A and B are shown apart, each in its own frame.
Chain A
Amino acid sequence: MSLPLSLQSKNVFLATALIATASMALFSGSGAMAFPEYQQFVEKHSGRTANCSMCHTNDSGPTGNDAGQIGSLTEAKLKQLNEARAAFEPGQDVDNPILNKFGNAIVKKIGMKNVLQYRSDPEKLATALGGKDDLDGDGIADSREFLDGTDPLNASHGDPWLLFVHNFSRYRVHIALAVLSIGLLLYGFNKVIAALSSSMEKKK
């Protein structure tokens, strides 16, 4: 029997599996670094579904062999990962390959120590993040987006009402001009209708 393709993939798999176990050996417990507590909190608090990609590169979290997961990282990226994981205190610039911009921003803002600590009360994360940072510039603070279960890195995703209010004031000139032009058109139609109907009545 022939299994060339599958055997090949087997070897590749072996290599990645080795790297993965090696990296995990550095830290105790493979599941400990993924924080489902936050996801559960977000889903319960916001009523929206969420997944790991709010903070992680991969939507199924950091464990595994797919892109953006620990199993797929190169030697250099693994080093980066370990450095980032050691950023216990706030204020350190981190570039963790398994985290997205929001994830890295959280670590920089509050430090890994607090990330670990707030697992028991995820709402504290929002408080610690403060109300100023807004990575996607949609006018809704990252902490608010976390609580609302919306994407903090997508400017067209957020609490609909907050987005509407923010965009309304952001585009107020455009809206004012649109209102002006439509207002003029309505006035114009109105006057022309009045003129036409009165002259039609006259004709009768």
Chain B
Amino acid sequence: MSPISGLNDVVAFVSERFPVDKLNFHSMIEKKEVPIHKMTWGYYTGGLALLFLFVQVVTGLFLLFYYQPTVSDANLSVEYITKYVSCGALIRNMHAWSSSLMIFFTVVHLLTTFAMKAFDRPREITWVAGVCLLLITYGFGFTGYLLPWNQIAVNATKVGLQSVELIGTYLPGAIADLPRILKETFQGEASVGQATLGRFYAMHVVLLPLALFAVLGIHLLQVQLHGMSQGIDRAAQKSEKFFPLFILRDLSVWGVAFLILFVLALCLPFDSFVSFPLLEPYNALGATPPGIKPEWYFYFIYYPLELLPFWLILLLSNLLVAGLFLTPWIFRDTSRTTLGFLALLGTLYLIIMTIFGHNIYEIFKGGG
């Protein structure tokens, strides 16, 4: 392949993914159609993730008014918000519930778009940006978990970060120390402390949002440029206008979702699922209390990590991430039926590990 034809290939690839001639209101909004078929509900999942992102941005901004990112004050400021500030408990709860729902719908969106083969040419970039968004969302979950600075937050973060260091044991001589150095750079000091809190805070509040909005911009631009994917193997008979009909339906769904979120946040404190000793302010000099766990959306990797050898999980998760990024090319010729089956398997695994992970853990490790 000569350099010129290689360059031409690149140009062709980019111009197919970014068709500049379609970069106008008419073809991106007015002409866009949404196919109607049995999987049409899948088109709403991304919008729902977006709704919860908006809720996160707004409630997060409010929490910033009162939150103080220092080891001595963080926990107290969170307590101050929930206990004294009017509607503070509601806003904090909304942030917590909405974060869970956002991750939930991001994952559902990934699975449905996978099943609907929405990554098919020319939508590869949409998919890759989407995978980046998923990772960023998980990053939000991980960094945000530390901020209340209570026992479960700090100890779970410690465990999470320590796993990074463990990678070193599988690396050969010269670079074996690299993960530890990486980890300490990431947490800012030898153990989780003020430096870590400051860094996680900066990431949660500034860096990750910036990254998210940048990638989200590409993701949404791609979605509008290429329109909705057909979603099923045989092209749908019917379709409806994206604007204004589908947008209005999407808004209706948002209304219902918001109502559910509101009632949940108002009536069911997120913290009530955790044992109270874990909600006490972090005590650097005391023992680790029993029952330290990550948030539920990490269970799918946490329980296997508890049960299986670390190297195996490391290998599998690396494969999974690589597989996710390469999906548009790996499954280029796979039918939607097969993809649907694979997505179903993935869904089953996630549901079982998230809901019954603890029971599975008890069965295998209960005696020890």
Kindly state the interface size class of chain A when it binds its partner: 35 or more
Residue in A closest to B257 when the chains form the complex, CB atoms: A182
Q: Does B176 contact A (CB under 8 A)?
A: no
Residues of A within 8 Å of B249, CB to CB, are 189, 193
Q: Does B217 contact A (CB under 8 A)?
A: no
B255 touches A50 (CB 8 A): no
- List B contacts of A150 (CB < 8 A): 272, 276
Known: A174-B266, A175-B266, A186-B255. A53 touches B248 (CB 8 A): no
Q: Are B277 and A182 interface neighbours, CB within 8 A?
A: no
- Residue pair B266, A167 in contact (C-beta under 8 Å): yes
Dominant secondary structure at the A interface: helix
Q: Output the least CB separation between A197 and chain B (Å).
A: 6
Question: Which of A71-79, A105-113, A155-163 contacts its partner?
Answer: A155-163
**Residue from B258, B266, B272 having most chain A Cβ neighbours under 10 A:** B272
Counted as pairs of residues, one from A and one from B, with CB atoms less than 8 Å apart, the total is 96
A27 adjacent to chain B (CB < 8 Å): no
- Expressed in whole angstroms, the minimum distance between the Cβ of B175 and any Cβ of chain A is 40
Q: Check A189/B252 contact, CB under 8 A, given A157-B271, A163-B269, A167-B268.
A: yes
B275 at the interface (CB under 8 A from A): yes
Task: Decide if B268 touches A163 in the complex (CB within 8 Å).
Answer: yes
- B279-305 contact mask (Cβ, 8 Å, vs A): 1 or 0: 110010010011100000000000000
Contact B245 A164 (CB under 8 A): no
Contact assessment for A171 and B266 in the assembled complex, using a CB-CB cutoff below 8 Å: yes
B268 touches A59 (CB 8 A): no
Cross-chain pairs A/B with CB under 8 angstroms, 15 sampled: A49-B275, A49-B290, A59-B277, A149-B276, A156-B269, A157-B269, A157-B276, A160-B268, A160-B272, A163-B268, A167-B267, A171-B267, A178-B262, A182-B258, A192-B244
Residues of B within 8 A of A (CB): 82-83, 89, 93, 240-241, 244-245, 248-249, 251-252, 255-256, 258-259, 262-263, 266-269, 271-273, 275-280, 283, 286, 289-291
